[in-house]
Amino acid sequence: MARPRTPLLDRERIGAAALQLLAEQGEFSVPQVARALGVQTGSLYHHVDGRAGVIELVRERVCAGIDGGTLAAEPWDGALEAWARSYRAAFAAYPRAIPLLMTTPVRAPAVLAQYEQAVALLLGAGFRAEQVMPLLTGLENLVLGSALDLAAPDAMWEPTPQTPLLAGALAAQGPGRAEAAFEVGLAAFLAYARDLRGGAEPGGEG
Amino acid sequence: MARPRTPLLDRERIGAAALQLLAEQGEFSVPQVARALGVQTGSLYHHVDGRAGVIELVRERVCAGIDGGTLAAEPWDGALEAWARSYRAAFAAYPRAIPLLMTTPVRAPAVLAQYEQAVALLLGAGFRAEQVMPLLTGLENLVLGSALDLAAPDAMWEPTPQTPLLAGALAAQGPGRAEAAFEVGLAAFLAYARDLRGGAEPGGEG
DNA sequence: ACCTGAACACCGTTCAAGT
DNA sequence: ACCTGAACACCGTTCAAGT
């Protein structure tokens, strides 16, 4: 068969297959993706830059759920808040992909473009350049940590008979609690950002 | 040679070798650890429950740097703050281990014991059982995210010519910024916790 | 350009054999 | 109990061969 008249593979289907594997079993391998698409493992390498490239396709798919239009709203703090909520919802839809995406450098151009826009928002609001990344990474920690907590609240703890209090605290966790923690964390973050910005003029340079 | 009169291996040395590999190259494999100890790969399985067991040894080593005594101080919010600072310092010493430990369930008894103590502190301060885990995981997100940011500030971003603002924001990041973000994040967290607790009696049951 | 099929170095885990 | 040495199934990546 060799080269088919119409390609068997494309980046869309590769990303979708990898994300589905992640959703089902919490991980994926390149051969598994190939198998799911009825193709040889090596064939993927004609479309994607190895496993890291597949991860970036997954990131693009998950992040496609984020409404980037929120970043164009005014005022700046309302835009940031709406973006954070949309960001969290997108990741909460694929909780088992979060660990993979949290520990992998962001290369996907579509995602970088959205962060570029977020940087522009903060600079336009009057923040200084050194203030921007701490704000964005702080917001990201809040969003991703909380999305993981929302969808997999006890994934990180294996209590034992020696830790009865911890076991009780885990059992007492209600689904609304992660929600509440996010709300207050977000409010605290926004209050901090407003305070940090002080009386800067919107669009000002210094 | 088969069984030596005095064992060649012990859990201490396995954990130390794995942590050193993580510090040097950001990852480790079981065969690499065996090689570093001059031993066959299979030998490790007599001392440790597979790769996951080695990860838990690494966690114990890193967490050994946390001063658990802080949790016995009074008042409760001062204890929590001191614990968070010690926690962050311990992880900042091994930044390349953080991604591995952040995405892996906690099984190490010594670490679980410390969390058991933290749960006891919060319950003793008057928090209700459902409030405890959201507080602890929120604090953990703050601490680990900030430790990672402190030690590897640009590890998560690969800016391109299409993202000049992002590149500028990354370049403008000073080392003191992660510190400042942690300080304010911690202050916001503690203020939230005090507010959530309200006027509960220390040691009260609710 | 795109797929196959085979290869390569590596991984995590198991286990009989030896002392 | 503890180490060796070999095995197994699996992984990520490369590449000549075919169309």
Q: Is A174 on the interface with B (CB under 8 A)?
A: yes
* Token code pair at residue B110: 């010594």
Average pLDDT over residues B5-15: 95
State, as a whole number of angstroms, the distance between the CA of A43 and the C1' of C2: 8
Span of A49-53, B4-8, B84-88, B179-183 with lowest mean pLDDT: B179-183
On the question of pLDDT at B175 being above 90, the answer is: no
Which residues in chain A have their CB less than 8 angstroms from residue B191's CB? 188
Nearest by CB: B103 against A103, A106, A115: A103
A5 touches strand C (CB under 7 A): no
Instruction: Provide the pLDDT for residue B177.
Output: 74
Average pLDDT over residues A13-39: 97
Instruction: Provide the pLDDT for residue A173.
Output: 83
CA distance A92 to A97: 9
On the question of pLDDT at A65 being above 60, the answer is: yes
Distance from CA of B14 to the nearest CA of A (A): 23
On the question of pLDDT at A2 being above 80, the answer is: no
- Taking only the tens place, the pLDDT of each residue in A107-121 is 999 999 999 999 999
CA distance B80 to B91: 17
Distance from CA of A134 to the nearest CA of B (A): 6
The model's confidence at residue B202, banded by pLDDT at 50, 70 and 90, is low
Instruction: Provide the pLDDT for residue B26.
Output: 94
Tell me if B89 sits within 8 A of B183, measured CB to CB: no
> Which parts of chain B fold into alpha helices (H)?
11-25, 30-36, 50-63, 76-92, 98-102, 109-124, 129-151, 164-171, 175-197
The model's confidence at residue B206, banded by pLDDT at 50, 70 and 90, is very low
State, as a whole number of angstroms, the distance between the CA of B12 and the C1' of C19: 25
State, as a whole number of angstroms, the distance between the CA of A31 and the C1' of D12: 9
State, as a whole number of angstroms, the distance between the CA of B60 and the C1' of D3: 26
Residue B157, classed as helix, strand or coil, is strand
Most A CBs within 10 Å, among B130, B133, B136, to test the A interface: B133
Return the percentage of chain A with pLDDT > 90, whole number.
Answer: 67
The model's confidence at residue B199, banded by pLDDT at 50, 70 and 90, is confident
* Token code pair at residue A157: 């703890």
Instruction: Provide the pLDDT for residue B203.
Output: 52
Residue nearest to nucleotide D5 (CA to C1'): B40
- Taking only the tens place, the pLDDT of each residue in A94-149 is 999 999 998 899 999 999 999 999 999 999 999 999 989 988 988 998 898 888 88
Residue B106, classed as helix, strand or coil, is strand
Q: How many contacts, defined by CB atoms under 8 Å, are there between A and B?
A: 167
Which residues in chain A have their CB less than 8 angstroms from residue B164's CB? 116
On the question of pLDDT at A72 being above 70, the answer is: yes
DSSP conformation letters of A106-170: B--HHHHHHHHHHHHHHHHTT--HHHHHHHHHHHHHHHHHHHHHHH-TTTTB---TT-HHHHHHH
Return the percentage of chain B with pLDDT > 70, whole number.
Answer: 97
On the question of pLDDT at B205 being above 70, the answer is: no
Distance from CA of A169 to the nearest CA of B (A): 5
Instruction: Provide the pLDDT for residue B204.
Output: 43
Residue A177, classed as helix, strand or coil, is helix
